[in-house]
Structure 1
Amino acid sequence: MKIPMIYQMENSECGLACCAMILNYFKYEISLNELREIYPSSRSGYSLLSISKVLGDFNISSHAFKASVRDLKPLSFPLICFWESSHFIILEKISKNKFYILDPAKGRQRMSISEFERHYSNIILTFKKLDSFMSRKDNKKSPVLKYFFKYRNKLGILFFVTALLYVIQSLVPIANRYIIDTNFKDDSYSSRMLFTILFIFTVSFSLMYLLRQIYVASLKYIMDKEISYDFMKHLIYLPYSFYEKRTLGDILFRANSIVYIREILSNNFIAAILDLLMIVVYAVVLFSFSKYMVIFLISLSLALSIVMYPIIKISKNLIDKNIKEKVNVQNITSEVISKNSDIKLTGEEEFWINKWDNFNTKQLIIGRKLDIHLSIVSSITNVLQIILPVLTLIVGVNIKTFEQLTLGQIVAISTVSPYFISPIISLSDNYIQLMLLKGYFLRIEDVFNTKSELIPERVSQDIKFDKKIKLKDIWYKYGLFDDYVLKGINVTIKKGETVAIVGESGSGKSTLAKILLGLLEPNIGSIEVDGVEKEEIGQTLYRKIFGAVLQNSTLSYGTLRENLTFGHFVSDEELMTNLNSIGLSNVVKSLPLGLETIIAEEGNNFSGGQQQMILLARCLLSKPSVVVLDEATSSLDNLSQQITTSYLSEIGTTKILIAHRLDTIKSADKILVMHNGEIVEIGTHRELLELGGIYKQLYSNN
């Protein structure tokens, strides 16, 4: 049995993708998305041990050991191989000194011994089903295909109109036969009748074709609008962890794939169904003329299919690789644009252009191979369409004596035979497009199948933070098989308090802030607001309690006003009062367009300090109950720092500060000192210095 190819969708889930392929190979049907929900990946990926544990949970035993390339041939396949010392692939079989592998990152590949040896890291995982193993049938429907069923009535109308156009088209050869065989005179009644009918058919065909094109354009608009909106809405409401494990380029590629899906669904999918129908219709028309000609054309079609099959099969693999390489090019392009200042400062323009060129060249090479294979298909079909009428005339003349065919019937057969072959040719083209659709589907479905945070809120819309927020025994790790990065965190934050979190890099400060803000969900433990569990409040309302400026917070392209208000109405007076309180009003007044000044993407036309002040102003404009600042004032000069700190003290808002500059948090009511994911010290600045522990050491070094 052939192993189904499953591509990894996250940067570090090659091991999990291999598990999904093995499970499906053993008839336990499960999607990578479903497997990911059970075994979330870490930022460092999966080990052989974690892969073994995953398979073991499904009653598949596994054994890992070292093996050279020569040791592989006698073993039972498939195997999971350690690859390039940082990746996992499946070795499906070895045949005639060729290694057939399934790479979750690149797809199916066939390699020579030397090529395989160059990448293979001499470690494998073998496995077998236990007696307790049970197969499973996955009946889940594609979330994208629901749009096809939703618009089935509109697509049905399109199908009917297109079918009617084909029927009108099929009447042409019948008319040809009648004209030739009756040898009518110009003044005869039949002549006038025939021309009248042909005129009606011509006008009907033209009008129906025009209406069909208008209808297709309208249908595309409706489908594109709804699919795009649903995709973006679902994407925006996906959990923060989704974005952590995927590149910007990959996500952009998925969003752009919607256009291709809509085009293929509205054009090729319907065309493929109609092609099957028209093969039957034209076969019936041909059979009414000559059964021998039908046998000849069916034989020709079968021969064409046999010739085309290996070419289309190769094209399928190239399509998969081409999509993957396009994603890689999109990734590196996004990286070059976003890191432009770093590239210029390091003087590494040539390095990056060469890196981009390598990825782009790989994609172009695969694209060229794909174009060549598609050109072969196109050449065969074009030649066939040119010679087929002549060929059918020759065959028709030869079988004329057997079936007593008239000249009109022979001409009609010659006319209709290309119509019979054309849908078969079209089917091959549409099949390739539908294979392309599958590649886009996988990436779109990865978004739709990931659970969003958009769930009904369970409590009043007017929830307030009046007393305290309590973190109870919080434990967190990024992946199921990773070590905990937060361990047993217990903290109570009272209303109006200023709480600082300090510690060495990697101690868990930012992760704790993300847990508190609801960006990450703890594996163990709970969060309460005034005694109400966070789950009872709901994510959206819970997050409205907070305002935050994190290390990776950035400005968006748009006006300064838009960046400050995010579409909410705020008067100029209130805006300027807010900006003045943190010392930014003079900067705004000095700008020729003031609040209407356009901010470049990520705020690149403002200094680092100005960006932080704008972000802080935006945070405070929403009047949050709790402000979380993660190194949010690190780029400010001393005067701006003093103004900002003074204002934050005046407003009495609960503040949670994460800082490396410890002189900025001396006045905090409570300082939490973190070490290896645990809170090891709690107290005021003076108390912690007197304690003489980690905080004193950090403060002295600072």
Structure 2
Amino acid sequence: TSRFTQALTETLEAIQEIRAGNRQGYFWGRLSGRAREVRDFAVASQWRTDASNRASGLLFQFGIDVFRAAAMLTVLFSDLSIGQMLAVFSYLWFMIGPVEQLLSLQYAFYAASGALSRINELLARADEPQYPGGVDPFKGRDTVGIEINDLKFSYNDEPVLNNLNLSIAPGEKVAIVGASGGGKSTLVQLLLGLYTPQAGTIRFGGSSQQEIGLATVRDNVAVVLQHPALFNDTIRANLCMGRERSDEACWRALEIAQLAHTIRQLPAGLESVVGRSGVRLSGGQRQRLAVARMVLAEPKVVVLDEATSALDAATEYALHQALAQFLQGRTTLIIAHRLSAVKQADRVLVFDGGTIAEDGGHQQLIAEGGLYAQLYGHLQH
């Protein structure tokens, strides 16, 4: 059943790509195969269960009949009275019910063992660490700085970040660039406490995550991802995420995200439903909706992880211009491969092999002719 459910979910989520590649036949066939597996296993399981129950009942009744025959012979060849024989039969009938319940118990256990193993697998997973917290370095400040000391993180013993040291001043805009797999997005997960580092500390405003508590960190640090998650709900619900926000605030956030004009053209406006995973919006519109969501959250620290990769040049320029005023005075991390996004930053960090290979301004790194210059094709040959 789990294999069928997984195949069904994957097929529905990727239906547009499947149709675009004209692979409907293959994937519906795979799904039908999984459905047939569920049917065949269900039929076989039910047949075996019924057969086992009937076989057990037949064996049990056979045992009773043997006992009766033995009792009758005992009466014939001994001095056991008819009343004593009936008493023995009565005891036997009292025993039949509990014994049959014990026999049926094993079938119930086998039926539940599959689900039980999956539940135990889920319960065996380690919970997210719960830090005591109590310190709030964000309170009463417009923003805070970030300090990372000797940070180490590995996926299955494969190092991703190796003794990373980084200091970002309050209100500074820092761009992080580098080849894929260099640890940029992993750093974002670590900043939010979604991953736990093997060693090192992350501090916001001089206080570590353990001292602050993950709930407080996530309330004040907002991330806009390249592929944001959207719910099959209204524009308003996707913007507010359960927070109480006025219509005016929603429209203001959409104006900054360069999406207000598009939403106003929809018949229901803020009440328009975006569909499963935002299917009724384009990739660029989904990214801009995520930017508006970040603006509504009013964070003290902002992380933009390839947040404008799906936008055309003109829209991206307008978005950066509108965001500049909002991000003014907020510590901002910009993870990007596009030069237009990197140029918004005060400082550029180049990740290579889990460490910072280069650190400096855009023009300075281009002039040095190192890895940054190679990434953007400015190396002078």
Report if TM-score (shorter chain) is over 0.5.
yes
- 2:286 maps to which of 603, 607, 611: 611
How far apart in 2 are the matches of 1:418 and 1:374?
25
Match of 1:429 among 101, 104, 118: 104
- SS in structure 2 at match of 1:526: strand
The answer to whether the Cα contact below 8 Å between 2:138 and 2:205 also exists between their aligned partners in 1 is: no
1:419/1:352 CA distance change after superposition, 3 Å: farther
Q: Secondary structure at the match of 1:536?
A: helix
Q: Shift in Å at residue 544 of structure 1? A: 2.0
SS at match of 1:700: coil
Counterpart residue number, 2:362: 685
Residues 173 and 331 of structure 2 are in contact (CA less than 8 Å); yes or no, is this contact kept in structure 1? yes
Does the residue aligned with 1:477 lie in a helix, a strand or coil?
strand
Which residue is equivalent to 2:236? Answer: 561
Alpha carbons of 1:561 and 1:413: their partners in 2 closer, same or farther (altered >3 Å)? farther
Once the two structures are TM-superposed, the CA of residue 459 in structure 1 deviates from its matched residue by 1.8
Mapped to 1, the partners of 2:3 and 2:215 lie a distance apart of 34
Deviation at 1:360, TM superposition (A): 4.0
- 1:596 aligns with 271
**1:693 Cα deviation after fit:** 1.1
Residue of structure 2 equivalent to 1:341: 16
Structure 1 residue 390 displacement after superposition:
7.1
Give how far 1:344 is off.
1.0
Decide whether the 8 Å contact of 2:175 with 2:349 is kept in 1.
yes
3-state SS, counterpart of residue 682 of structure 1:
strand
Q: Return closer, same or farther for 1:614/1:667 CA change in 2, 3 Å cut-off.
A: closer
> What is the alpha-carbon distance in structure 2 between the residues aligned to residue 418 and residue 363 of structure 1?
40
2: CA distance, partners of 1:627 / 1:446? 36
Q: Deviations over 1:645-666 (max 9, x none)?
A: 1122112122211111122221
Q: Which amino acid aligns with 2:334?
A: L
Q: CA deviation at 1:499?
A: 0.9
1:497 paired residue number: 172
Q: Relative to structure 1, is the Cα distance of residues 693 and 505 closer, same or farther in structure 2, using a 3 angstrom cutoff?
A: same
What is aligned with 1:404?
A: 81
Once residues 540 and 701 of structure 1 are traced to their aligned partners in structure 2, the CA distance between those partners, rounded to angstroms, is: 43
Q: Tell me the secondary structure at the aligned position of residue 472 of structure 1.
A: strand
Deviation at residue 415 of structure 1 after TM alignment: 7.4
In the alignment, which residue of structure 2 is the partner of 1:656?
A: 333
- Unpaired runs of 5+ residues, structure 2, are none
Paired letter, 1:626: V
| 2:157 equivalent to 1:468 | no
Conserved in 2, the CA contact under 8 Å of 1:332 and 1:356? yes
Secondary structure of 1:451's partner? coil
- 1:350 partner amino acid: G
How far apart are 1:681 and its partner, in Å? 0.9
1:509 aligned residue: 184
Shift in Å, 1:701: 7.6
Structure 1 SS opposite 2:377: helix
The Cα shift of 1:602 comes to: 0.8
Deviation at 1:444, TM superposition (A): 2.0
Once residues 664 and 484 of structure 1 are traced to their aligned partners in structure 2, the CA distance between those partners, rounded to angstroms, is 28
Offset, 1:686: 0.9
C-alpha distance in structure 1 between counterparts of 2:274 and 2:206, whole Å:
42
Structure-2 change in CA distance of 1:657 and 1:553 (3 Å): same
Taking the aligned partners of 2:160 and 2:286, their CA distance within structure 1 comes to: 30
1:699 partner amino acid: Y
Structure 1 position 445, deviation (Å): 3.0
Amino-acid identity (%)? 29
**What letter is aligned with 2:290?**
L
Aligned to 1:488: 163
Q: Find the aligned partners of 1:346 and 1:437 in 2 and give their Cα distance.
A: 40
Q: Could you tell me how far apart the structure 1 residues matched to 2:10 and 2:200 are? A: 37
CA shift, 1:440, in A, is 2.8
- Kindly state the Cα deviation for residue 690 of structure 1 after the two structures are TM-superposed: 0.8
CA RMSD of aligned residues (A): 2.8
Are the equivalent residues in 2 in contact too, given 1:560–1:598 (CA < 8 A)?
yes
Instruction: For residue 632 of structure 1, give the secondary structure of its aligned residue in structure 2.
Output: coil
- Give 1:695's aligned residue: 372
SS of match in other structure, 2:25: helix
Partner of 1:528: 203
SS, match of residue 147 in structure 2:
strand
Q: Structure 2 CA distance, aligned partners of 1:629 and 1:534?
A: 20
Are the aligned partners of 2:235 and 2:272 in contact in 1 as well (CA < 8 Å)?
A: yes
Residues 678, 416 of structure 1: CA spacing in aligned structure 2 closer, same or farther, 3 A cutoff?
same
- Answering whether residue 300 of structure 2 is matched by residue 645 of structure 1, we say no
Matched with 2:120 is: 445
How far 1:395 moved relative to its partner?
A: 5.8
Report the alpha carbon displacement of residue 435 of structure 1 after superposing the two structures with TM: 3.7
Given that 1:389 and 1:414 are in contact with CA atoms closer than 8 Å, whether structure 2 keeps it comes out as no
Residue identity matched to 1:494: A
> Match of 1:404, as an amino acid?
S
Determine if the alignment matches structure 1 residue 570 to structure 2 residue 242: no
1:204-235 superposed Cα distances (whole Å, 9 cap, x missing partner): xxxxxxxxxxxxxxxxxxxxxxxxxxxxxxxx
Deviation at 1:695, TM superposition (A): 1.1
Q: Indicate the SS of the match to 1:611.
A: helix
- Give the structure, 1 or 2, with the largest relative contact order (CA under 8 Å, sep 6 or more): 2
**Are the equivalent residues in 1 in contact too, given 2:4–2:35 (CA < 8 A)?**
yes
TM-fit CA distance, 1:456: 5.3
Letter in 1 for 2:363: R
SS at match of 1:332: helix
Over 3 Å counting, the alpha-carbon distance change for 1:616 and 1:688 in structure 2 is: same
Separation in 1 of the partners of 2:61 and 2:103?
18
The alpha carbon displacement at 1:362 in A equals 4.2
The answer to whether the Cα contact below 8 Å between 2:231 and 2:238 also exists between their aligned partners in 1 is: yes
Per-residue deviation, residues 519-544 of structure 1 (Å, max 9, x unmatched): 22222211111221222112221222
**Cα distance, 1:637 vs structure 2:** 2.5
